[in-house]
Amino acid sequence: MCGLVGFFNGCNLDVACPKKALNKCPSQSKQDSTRTFKNWDRKASVRSTPQRTEHFGDLLFPRELVPLLHSKKLVGLPKRDEENLRRSALFRFMNFTHKLEMLVVNTVTANIVMQRYNFSLPDQLRSDAHKIYVDEAYHALVAFETMNAMRVRGPKSLFRECVPNFLKQLELQINKEPVGRRKALIELFFVITSEMLITNTLGNVNKHKEMDESIRSIIRDHSADEARHHAFYRSLLIEVWDQLSGDDQIYVTGKLPELVLAYCIPEQEGLAADLVSLGLSKSESDVIIDEVHPPGTTLAYAMQVGSAVFTLINELSDSHSSDRLNESLAGMPKV
C-alpha cells in the first residue's frame, strides 16, 4: 500500500492484503500491473476526483492515528492541547507524504521510465511507470497544499517542515555503501519495498470518527491509487529479480529488513517537540515516547507490514538468498 504505512507505527493497525481496494488480490503473474492500469485515465485520483483542498474543515487528525494520545500520562489533556497534538500529527503525516513522493518514489520511478537501471523492461511497464509518476506528483501536491493551508491558519510554531526520519535512514545506508551500482539498488529496493508495504489503515479511514472530511477523502483517494502501485511494483520486482546477479540478489535480500524498518522508526524529534510545546520537560517527553513506542514494537510492526515483500522474495529466491533474509531478519535491532 506504500511507505506511508511506516508513519502509522503505534496506531494499532489491521494489517492485511490490499485486495479490497483492488477487488482482487494482486495475483502471482507479471500481467497484473498492465491490467490494473488499463482504466487509469478514469480511475486515478488526479483524473477523477474533485479538488479536495478547497474545502478544508478543522484540519485535525483522528485521535486513533495519534500515538501520543494513547499515553496514560496524557489522559485528561486540555482540549486545546489535544487539538494541537492532532494538528501537529496531521502536518507531520503530510510532510512525510510530500518528501516520500518527491524525493524518493518519483526519483526512482523516473529512473525506471528513463531506463537508468541495468534492466530490460517491457514498454508497457515503463508506460505504467509514467502513470505512477503522475499519481505521486499529485499526492505530493495535495500534501503540500494541505501543509500550506495549515501554516496559514497557524499556529506556525507547531508546524515544522523537516527531513523525515526514513529519508535520513536511507541516506545513511546509501552513504555507507561504496559501490555505485549497489547504491542505486538500495534506492530502487527502498521504493519497491515501500510501495509493497501493506495495511488496511489507509483504506479504512471511514471508521475514524472526528476526522476532517477533506482529509478523509485525500487519504481514501491516495489509498486507491496506491493499491495499483502495489501491483506495479510487485510485477517490477518479479521482472528484475532474475536480471540481478546471484551476489546482488543476496546483497539486496540482506538489506530488505533494514529498508522496511527505516520507514517505521518513529519521528522522535517531532514527537518530543510536540510534548515540550505542552510544557513537559525533555525527560518527561522521553518517558511518554517510550510508553507509546515500547522496545520491540517498531520492529514487530515493520515485520508485519513488510511480510508481503519478504514472502515474495522467499518465493523468487534460491536457498542462499532465503538464508540471507532469515539471517538478516534474526539480526534486526529490537527497537
Shortest reach from residue 137's CB to Fe ion, in Å: 9
182 contact partners, CB below 8 Å, separation of at least 6: 248, 251
| Closest by CA position to 218, among listed 132, 145, 159 | 145
Shortest reach from residue 112's CB to Fe ion, in Å: 12
Q: Return the residue nearest Fe ion (CB atom).
A: 229
Q: Show the cell assigned to 149.
A: 493551508
Shortest reach from residue 105's CB to Fe ion, in Å: 6
Backbone angles phi, psi at 328, to 5 degrees: -65, -40
Shortest reach from residue 73's CB to Fe ion, in Å: 34
Shortest reach from residue 93's CB to Fe ion, in Å: 13
Amino acid identity of 46? V
Nearer to Fe ion, 63 or 130 (CB): 130
Q: Where are the alpha helices (DSSP H) in the chain?
A: 19-22, 32-36, 40-43, 45-48, 79-99, 106-113, 123-153, 165-176, 180-196, 213-241, 246-264, 268-277, 282-292, 297-305, 307-316, 319-330
Would you tell me which residues interact with Fe ion (CB under 5 A)? 2, 136, 139, 226, 229
Please state, in angstroms and rounded to a whole number, the distance separating the CA atoms of residues 245 and 254: 14
